[in-house]
């Protein structure tokens, strides 16, 4: 033993305060973005069966959720709309009196300080469930851009602080940026779902947003999970076109991509901790197989460590409670 030389790494792990002193990565309530689903009707607070603890709210009950979000110190949320009627071109997505537009107005009127992010897509509003205009079962890129611009402008008019296009059409950032600028919204940022993989982890969200495609899948416009270099091409395009944030979705299986994007681009990076990641943890916790709090906090810190500046997560309220303890 006298000649054995090695490093004493455990010296810095002896107590909780010492570990906190040398901790390299931190998670704050300010890092969290909470998703909210709004539906038509009245008196609705309906739990999503595949997402325990996540609800759809009608506007007359929305303030109940907003009060809790604000009380927990969460400062930003993203709103998804579930319209009562759908059609081929998703007209409720850009209707002045659409469910999301009304929800945004209500949020900003009652909670002016909270940052309201509008998801800009068509899949919740189209009868076929795809994120654009469909012809002969093909999703058409350029005609879809016109509708996405109308949607973004209508959301900005309603008061959205940030536009978050999630449709993965080529040129969507350029088109929306020009549309917002021409409508006088030059100061409304774009949080681009720049790197969105065609993932099986989205299943529960499609229950929550009633947005499952009625034929085929989304692999012609969302990315192949096997591809890494393609993420750079997608991000470079969006940066060039005027994006203000870059998002990677999903998060857990794509931590390598989050780190790659963080290393190469200087915009704020957002990780979307998606519905399937949420539901798996909830299901395991309800069966007593895992410690939910420890698992969730470890997951979220892994996203921060990978390079995320912000995390969009259904665990936002739970995490805020735990961080505030």
Place of tokens 């607070």: 45
Residue 196 designated active-site = yes
User: Measured between alpha carbons, how far is 45 from 246 in angstroms, rounded to an integer?
Assistant: 32
Query: Which member of 196, 282, 304, 317 is catalytic?
Result: 196
- Residue 212 tokens read as 């499952």
**CA neighbours closer than 13 Å in the CB half-sphere of residue 216:** 14
Residues 6+ apart with CB under 8 A from 294: none
75, 86, 249, 293: the catalytic one is 249
Residue 75 known to be catalytic: no
Q: Which residue has the tokens 């919740």?
A: 124
**Do the Cβ atoms of 253 and 240 come closer than 8 Å?**
no
Q: Are 317 and 72 in contact (CB under 8 A)?
A: yes
Half-sphere exposure at residue 258, Cβ-oriented, CA atoms within 13 angstroms: 27
DSSP string, 231-268: HHHHHHHHHHHT-SEEEEES-GGGHHHHHHHHHH--S-
Of all helices (H) and strands (E), which one includes residue 286?
Answer: helix 275-286
Task: Specify whether the CB–CB gap between 13 and 24 falls below 8 A.
Answer: no
Residue 40: burial class (beta carbons within 10 Å; 0-12, 13-18, 19+): middle
Strand 32-39 with 55-58, pairing: parallel
User: What is the distance between the alpha carbons of residues 293 and 146, in angstroms, rounded to a whole number?
Assistant: 43
**Residues noted as catalytic:** 196, 249
């Amino acid at each position: 033993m006298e000649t054995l030389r090695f490093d004493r790494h455990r010296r810095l792990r002896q107590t909780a305060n010492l570990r906190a002193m040398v901790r390299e990565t931190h998670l704050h309530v300010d890092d969290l973005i909470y998703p909210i689903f709004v539906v038509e009707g009245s008196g609705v607070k309906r739990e999503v069966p595949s997402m325990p603890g996540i609800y759809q709210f009608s506007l007359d009950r929305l303030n109940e959720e907003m009060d809790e979000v604000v009380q927990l110190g969460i400062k930003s949320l993203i709103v998804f709309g579930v319209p009562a009627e759908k059609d081929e071109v998703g007209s409720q997505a850009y209707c002045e009196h659409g469910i999301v537009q009304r929800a945004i107005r209500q949020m900003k009127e009652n909670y002016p300080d909270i940052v309201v992010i509008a998801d800009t897509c068509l899949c919740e509003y189209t009868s076929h469930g795809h994120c654009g205009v469909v012809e002969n079962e093909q999703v058409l890129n350029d005609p879809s851009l016109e509708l996405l611009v109308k949607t973004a402008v209508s959301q900005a008019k309603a008061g959205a602080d940030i536009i978050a296009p999630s449709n993965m059409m080529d040129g969507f950032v350029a088109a929306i940026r020009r549309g917002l600028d021409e409508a006088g919204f030059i100061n409304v940022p774009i949080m681009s779902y720049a790197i969105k993989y065609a993932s099986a982890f989205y299943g529960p969200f499609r229950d929550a947003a009633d947005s499952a495609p009625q034929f085929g899948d989304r692999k012609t416009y969302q990315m192949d999970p096997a591809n890494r270099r393609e993420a750079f091409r997608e991000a470079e395009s969006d940066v060039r076109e005027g994006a203000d944030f870059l998002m990677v979705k999903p998060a857990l299986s794509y931590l390598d991509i989050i780190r790659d994007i963080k290393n190469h681009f200087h915009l704020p990076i957002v990780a979307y901790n998606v519905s399937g990641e949420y539901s798996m943890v909830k299901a395991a916790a309800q069966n007593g197989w895992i410690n939910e709090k420890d698992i969730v906090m470890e997951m979220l810190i892994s996203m921060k460590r990978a390079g995320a500046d912000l995390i969009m997560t259904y665990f936002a309220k739970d995490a805020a409670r735990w961080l505030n303890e």
